[in-house]
């Protein structure tokens, strides 16, 4: 069939690539970015935790110990002021127990402060503090030694000239350390703020990059989908065109075979019947030859009738001559006689003319539907309804038999299988109709076809 070869030759292998690779690549990049950012956030939060634990908390505890040391030094300063007071009734040796108590507390505070300070304290600072304290307590011991030897005035002079100066130097050193701790806390707070700002900035950049990646992936997916749907629309159009050409070729072939059967074989059988009739008339009345010729003539007539029925089934000439309604008025009783199924034919509404090409498709749909009823439904009756509506034609073929053997589709519907049903759907689409197949409440199958009136009057086969 040369008319079908040209459309097939135009088909070329599609060079369009599947979007799966690009989408997987975009997904991998997105996941890698998420994992990378999660690792970055983990590292930053770990750094913040270490900074707060190692610097801020240690500095705060160290400052508390320095305040403890400074409080002890202030207590010593107050004690020395009272010791220098001439109105004080107690001798200097009475203060030795208080100085011992402060000495023990000061040593304990220094040891704990040394552990907490760690790397924040330079060796020079630690050495200066230890030497100053050692010199201070050495001077205190000498002062109490003088007091024990009843040298009160010399002892007080030792306090005034040496101990107070050393106590002030120690207080100044401790105050300087407190200032350094406060500065360290401020620096740590500044670093924490800087890290938070960096994390926030990185978060915004990550969100922006993620949104861009999602947008690019979405645009790529939309573009790929548009190309796929365009390709599907093109293939659907080509399939519809090919189906139309196939159906047109089929009808043309059936029309040709029908005419050949009707014209050639029909004329030959008609001539054979006429010749047998003339030959029988020439034979003697009641002779065996006359009976044999009559029997052969009846066989020829029966064959002629079968050929005419086959010709009408292949392509009803009545459809072109009298239209769809008259053809159905002839065809439905014929099917009823051939199959033994009682067909209830109902026609309603104000009829309107139907173009021959559309009529052929309607006739083929009814023909296939009744074939399905006779072959698969296992029923003794069926209903055919032809309704001429205001702007459309509605056709129904219903039986209460076994129904279609169907399979579930992806949308959850049961779609009947079979090449005949596919052909009916193709023909319905060619004339702009909508074909629905459902199961009525009584069981069986209900085929409903609805075609706009304008499609039936303008369609060209």
pTM: 0.49
Q: Are 210 and 321 within one domain?
A: no
Tally the domains of the chain: 2
Decide if 108 is inside a domain.
yes
Q: Are 188 and 52 within one domain?
A: yes
Distances (CA, A) of 147 to 81, 83, 263, 268, 373: 16, 11, 156, 162, 133
Decide if 231 is inside a domain.
no
Q: Are 97 and 205 within one domain?
A: yes
| SS3 category, 434 | strand
Q: What is the pLDDT along the chain (461 residues), one digit of tens a residue?
A: 344 344 444 444 444 566 677 667 777 877 787 787 778 778 877 777 776 666 677 777 888 888 888 898 899 888 888 888 777 777 888 888 888 999 899 888 888 888 877 666 778 888 888 888 888 898 888 888 888 888 888 888 888 888 888 888 888 988 888 888 787 777 777 877 787 788 778 778 877 887 887 888 788 888 888 888 888 888 877 877 777 777 778 777 877 787 777 667 777 778 887 787 777 777 777 778 878 778 887 887 888 778 777 776 777 777 777 888 888 888 899 889 888 999 999 999 898 888 888 888 888 899 889 998 988 888 999 999 999 998 999 999 999 988 764 444 444 444 455 677 888 888 888 888 999 998 888 888 999 999 998 888 775 44
Q: What are 240's two structure tokens?
A: 């519809």
Decide if 299 is inside a domain.
no
Q: Are 322 and 178 within one domain?
A: no
The domain that holds 354 is classified in CATH as: 3.30.565.10
Distance CA(299)–CA(294), nearest Å, equals 9
Domain encompassing residue 149: 21-218
| SS3 category, 103 | helix
Q: Are 71 and 202 within one domain?
A: yes
Distances (CA, A) of 207 to 200, 203, 211, 214, 361: 10, 6, 6, 10, 60
User: Of the candidates 184, 218, 252, which is a domain's last residue?
Assistant: 218
Distance CA(114)–CA(9), nearest Å, equals 93
Decide if 259 is inside a domain.
no
User: Of the candidates 218, 242, 264, which is a domain's last residue?
Assistant: 218
Is there a contact between 378 and 401 (Cβ–Cβ < 8 Å)?
yes
Distances (CA, A) of 120 to 60, 113, 115, 322: 12, 11, 10, 112
| 356 CB burial (10 A radius; 0-12, 13-18, 19+) | middle
Would strands 342-349 and 381-388 be described as parallel, antiparallel, or unpaired? parallel
Tell me the three-class secondary structure of 367-419, residue by residue: HHHHHHHHHHHCCCEEEEEEEECCCEEEEEEEECCCCCCEEECCCCCEEECCH
Decide if 454 is inside a domain.
yes
Q: Are 214 and 323 within one domain?
A: no
Q: Are 208 and 337 within one domain?
A: no
Distance CA(377)–CA(371), nearest Å, equals 10
Cβ-Cβ contacts under 8 Å for 72 (sequence gap 6 or more): 102, 105, 106, 109
Q: What are 431's two structure tokens?
A: 């004339």
Distance CA(458)–CA(461), nearest Å, equals 10
Q: Are 187 and 63 within one domain?
A: yes
| SS3 category, 11 | coil
Decide if 143 is inside a domain.
yes
Decide if 417 is inside a domain.
yes
Decide if 112 is inside a domain.
yes
Distance CA(419)–CA(51), nearest Å, equals 77
Q: What are 311's two structure tokens?
A: 């010709």
User: Of the candidates 157, 189, 218, which is a domain's last residue?
Assistant: 218
- Residue by residue, DSSP assigns 214-260 as HHHHHHHHHHHHHHHHHHHHHHHHHHHHHHHHHHHHHHHHHHHHHHI
pLDDT at residue number 231: 87
């Amino acid at each position: 069939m040369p008319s079908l070869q040209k459309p097939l030759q135009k088909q070329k292998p599609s060079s369009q690539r599947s979007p799966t690779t690009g989408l997987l690549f975009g997904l991998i990049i997105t996941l890698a970015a998420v994992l990378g950012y999660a690792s970055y956030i983990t590292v930053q939060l770990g750094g913040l935790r270490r900074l707060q634990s190692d610097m801020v908390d240690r500095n705060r505890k160290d400052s508390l110990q320095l305040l403890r040391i400074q409080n002890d030094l202030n207590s010593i300063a107050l004690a020395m002021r009272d010791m220098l007071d001439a109105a004080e009734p107690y001798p200097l040796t009475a203060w030795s127990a208080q100085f011992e108590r402060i000495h023990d507390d000061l040593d304990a505070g220094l040891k704990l402060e040394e552990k907490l300070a760690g790397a924040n304290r330079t060796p020079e600072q630690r050495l200066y503090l230890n030497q100053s304290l050692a010199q201070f307590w050495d001077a205190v011991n000498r002062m109490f030694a003088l007091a024990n030897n009843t040298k009160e005035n010399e002892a007080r002079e030792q306090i005034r000239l040496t101990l107070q100066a050393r106590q002030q130097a120690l207080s100044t050193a401790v105050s300087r350390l407190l200032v350094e701790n406060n500065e360290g806390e401020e620096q740590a707070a500044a670093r924490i703020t800087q890290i938070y700002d960096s994390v926030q900035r990185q978060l915004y950049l990550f969100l922006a990059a993620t949104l861009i990646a999602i947008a690019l992936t979405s645009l790529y997916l939309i573009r790929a989908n548009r190309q796929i749907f365009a390709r599907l629309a093109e293939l659907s159009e080509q399939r519809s065109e090919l189906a139309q050409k196939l159906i047109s070729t089929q009808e043309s072939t059936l029309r040709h075979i029908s005419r050949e059967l009707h014209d050639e074989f029909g004329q030959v059988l008609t001539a054979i019947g006429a010749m047998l009739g003339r030959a029988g008339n020439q034979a003697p009345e009641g002779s065996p030859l006359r009976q044999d010729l009559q029997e052969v003539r009846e066989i020829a007539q029966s064959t002629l009738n079968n050929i005419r029925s086959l010709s009408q089934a292949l392509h009803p000439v009545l459809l072109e001559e009298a239209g769809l309604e008259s053809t159905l008025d002839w065809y439905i009783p014929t099917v009823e006689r051939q199959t033994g199924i009682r067909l209830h034919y109902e026609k309603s509404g104000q009829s309107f003319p139907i173009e021959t090409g559309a009529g052929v498709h309607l006739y083929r749909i009814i023909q296939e539907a009744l074939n399905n009823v006779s072959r698969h439904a296992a029923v003794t009756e069926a209903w055919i309804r032809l309704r001429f509506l205001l702007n459309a034609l509605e056709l129904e073929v219903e039986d209460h038999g076994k129904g279609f053997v169907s399979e579930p589709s992806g949308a959850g519907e049961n779609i009947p299988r079979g090449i005949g049903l596919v052909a009916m759907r193709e023909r319905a689409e060619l004339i702009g109709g909508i074909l629905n197949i459902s199961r009525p409440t009584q069981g069986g199958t209900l085929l409903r076809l609805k075609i706009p009136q304008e499609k039936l009057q303008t369609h060209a086969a």
